[in-house]
Amino acid sequence: MYRRTFLKIAMISSATVGSLLKSNFTFAKGIPSKVFGSIPKDKCYVAPAKGPIQTSLTDLFKVGPGPSSSHTIAPLRISSDFLKTVGNLPKDVIDKSQSIEVRLFGSLSATGKGHRTDRAILAGLLGQKPETCDTKLMDELQDTTKKYTTTIQGKTFEVSHDIIVWDKIEHNYPFSNTMIMRLIGKNGETLFEREYYSTGGGFFQWKGQPAPDRGKPAYPFGTMMEFKRMAQEHKKSLHEIMMENEKAIIKVGDKEVIAHLDSILKTMENSVIQGITEEGLLPGPFELYRKAKRIYERSRKARATDRLMQQMSSYALAGSEGNAAGRLSVTAPTLGSAGTMPALVYMMKHHMKLSQDAMRKGLLAAGLVGFLCKHNASVAGADVGCQGEIGVASSMAAAMISYATGASLDVTEIAATIALEHHLGMSCDPVGGFVLIPCIERNAFGAVKAYNAYLLARNEIPSQRWEDLDRVIVAMYETGLAMPTQFKETGTGGLAVTMVDC
């Protein structure tokens, strides 16, 4: 129905008719400057030119313990990487060493205690991995008085809260979430040091890191515009390009990619199934009760007009509450936003009864949006505020449900654009630095907005739409850069201040 309408309009349009019919895609265009007067040259939109995306879906969608991908999964992965790296140092260096030191800067220092960054760091040093970590041990690691040990090349090192230094919040490192890990000698000298950055969504990198040994994408793109050109030139669909690129980048076959997609969908679904049965207090310094179960149960008796939104909200709350409780969740794109996509996944499976194949295609569309946001902006609340977490999650979820239900690439892009556009400017102000208020409810809003974006996009005419995903992503990034530090996951502004009594 939609495609017929689109083609009809394309046929009666003037200058663009040829290209639209040839490509079947609409391409981004700016509003002509004569409408408002031109924008100063230094403020003009410039399409990002960062080269092709080489991120894998296994990087974007990671399973790990909550409550925050940048503050739990990445620090756990970082300390695990450090353990492995020092394990390969020359024996004489290890002989001279005595202890390990971890320094946290920026948002990691400001809100790391609330996010339980310390226990994640200790878990990594004790050999734990995010996707398989022992949640009982993780709980025990909260105890600041307990001391553990880890072994490096046969030598024993203390692993306890005493090795962590909560350093400066304001600093000059290139990423807010900076973590320096050191191997210290017997006289307090640094024998080995690595400067790590947690760059959002559980991703990390270190200073001077060589490019990873990965394959090149089969269909290189860095923006949505380039993606559409690839699709047009090679007559490929969104899911075909995403599948081919994934296989080429991480050098695996269809079977492995599908297994990963299925496990992500399953983990998301399980987070909802578990969350709508649990009640009681969430861990944290103030009393915050779970409410997903109550809202879900009451939805059965809700008015027909209220029911769907109530159910969707309860699913998002379920995923998010589980994450806040430290359960295994999926970065989508972060753990702070771990409830948004699962709500839509649950809707697609249990309400819409979509096939597994359609769900996988939807997840690939979500992956595309996540890649573009990560590549051309950021998905870290510490860099761009909550627009980069819940905003991007909502955008990914809107693309997912649209594409899974058969929308074209144009309509899928519009759904993602709408959802992101209407999160622009949203700050990150977790009360006390805990992923509780406002994070949990924000997931419900992210899910509802995603669904609304999907509904609006289905009825949109691509050739009549001005906003496109690339421009909205750049707007998000610029908005984030201009945001004062107190609104970027430092717990020092917004609700984090007004909610606390003097």
Residue 321 interacts with ligand SF4 (CB under 6 A): yes or no: no
Type of residue at 371: F
> For residues 340 and 402, which CB has a smaller minimum distance to ligand SF4 in the complex?
340
Q: How far is the CB of 155 from ligand SF4 (least distance, A)?
A: 38
Q: How far is the CB of 364 from ligand SF4 (least distance, A)?
A: 24
* Among 180-188, 228-236, 240-248, 432-440, the segment contacting ligand SF4 (CB under 6 A): 432-440
Q: How far is the CB of 386 from ligand SF4 (least distance, A)?
A: 3
CA atoms 451, 454, 455, 456: torsion sign: positive
> For residues 349 and 442, which CB has a smaller minimum distance to ligand SF4 in the complex?
442
Q: How far is the CB of 15 from ligand SF4 (least distance, A)?
A: 42
Please provide the size of the chain in residues.
Answer: 502
Give the pair of three-digit tokens for residue 97. 């060493």
* Region for 361 from its dihedrals, namely left if φ exceeds 0, alpha if ψ lies in -120 to 50, beta otherwise: alpha
Give the pair of three-digit tokens for residue 236. 């490929």
Residue 393 interacts with ligand SF4 (CB under 6 A): yes or no: no
Sole binder of ligand SF4 in the list 64, 66, 202, 336 (CB under 6 A): 336
> For residues 194 and 327, which CB has a smaller minimum distance to ligand SF4 in the complex?
327
Sole binder of ligand SF4 in the list 179, 348, 419, 435 (CB under 6 A): 435
> For residues 100 and 324, which CB has a smaller minimum distance to ligand SF4 in the complex?
324
Q: How far is the CB of 493 from ligand SF4 (least distance, A)?
A: 11
> For residues 124 and 430, which CB has a smaller minimum distance to ligand SF4 in the complex?
430
Instruction: Report the distance separating Cα 2 and Cα 186, nearest Å.
Output: 71
Residue 396 interacts with ligand SF4 (CB under 6 A): yes or no: no
Instruction: Report the distance separating Cα 245 and Cα 261, nearest Å.
Output: 14
348: closest CA among 243, 450, 442? Answer: 450
> For residues 283 and 406, which CB has a smaller minimum distance to ligand SF4 in the complex?
283
C-beta of residue 62 within 8 angstroms of C-beta of residue 73 = yes
* Among 11-19, 280-288, 402-410, 433-441, the segment contacting ligand SF4 (CB under 6 A): 433-441
Residue 322 interacts with ligand SF4 (CB under 6 A): yes or no: no
Q: How far is CA 449 from CA 269, 295, 418, 454, 456, in A?
A: 19, 18, 9, 9, 10
Binding mask 164-203 for ligand SF4 (x = CB under 6 A): ----------------------------------------
**Please, what is the angle between helix 238-250 and helix 224-234, to 10°?**
100
Residue 112 interacts with ligand SF4 (CB under 6 A): yes or no: no
Sole binder of ligand SF4 in the list 381, 402, 468, 473 (CB under 6 A): 381
CA atoms 321, 70, 130, 450: torsion sign: positive
Instruction: Report the distance separating Cα 129 and Cα 131, nearest Å.
Output: 6
46: closest CA among 28, 26, 20, 34? Answer: 28
CA atoms 171, 169, 441, 77: torsion sign: positive
Residue 386 interacts with ligand SF4 (CB under 6 A): yes or no: yes
> For residues 217 and 430, which CB has a smaller minimum distance to ligand SF4 in the complex?
430
Instruction: Report the distance separating Cα 401 and Cα 447, nearest Å.
Output: 11
Helix or strand holding residue 295 (H, E): helix 292-299
* DSSP summary character for residue 193: E
> For residues 202 and 381, which CB has a smaller minimum distance to ligand SF4 in the complex?
381
**Please, what is the angle between helix 304-324 and helix 254-275, to 10°?**
110
> For residues 100 and 386, which CB has a smaller minimum distance to ligand SF4 in the complex?
386
Sole binder of ligand SF4 in the list 195, 226, 383, 389 (CB under 6 A): 389
Residue 390 interacts with ligand SF4 (CB under 6 A): yes or no: yes
Residue 439 interacts with ligand SF4 (CB under 6 A): yes or no: yes
> For residues 430 and 462, which CB has a smaller minimum distance to ligand SF4 in the complex?
430
| First-last CA distance in the chain | 59
* Among 159-167, 304-312, 357-365, 436-444, the segment contacting ligand SF4 (CB under 6 A): 436-444
Residue 430 interacts with ligand SF4 (CB under 6 A): yes or no: yes
Applying the rule CB under 6 A, the residues between 87 and 106 that interact with ligand SF4 are none
316: CB partners within 8 A, 6+ apart: 339, 340, 342, 343, 443, 444, 446, 447, 448
Give the pair of three-digit tokens for residue 26. 């609409």
Residue 489 interacts with ligand SF4 (CB under 6 A): yes or no: yes
> For residues 331 and 376, which CB has a smaller minimum distance to ligand SF4 in the complex?
331
Count the site residues for ligand SF4 by CB under 6 A: 13
Q: Which residue ranges make up the site for ligand SF4 (CB under 6 A)?
A: 336-337, 381, 386, 389-390, 428, 430, 435, 438-439, 442, 489
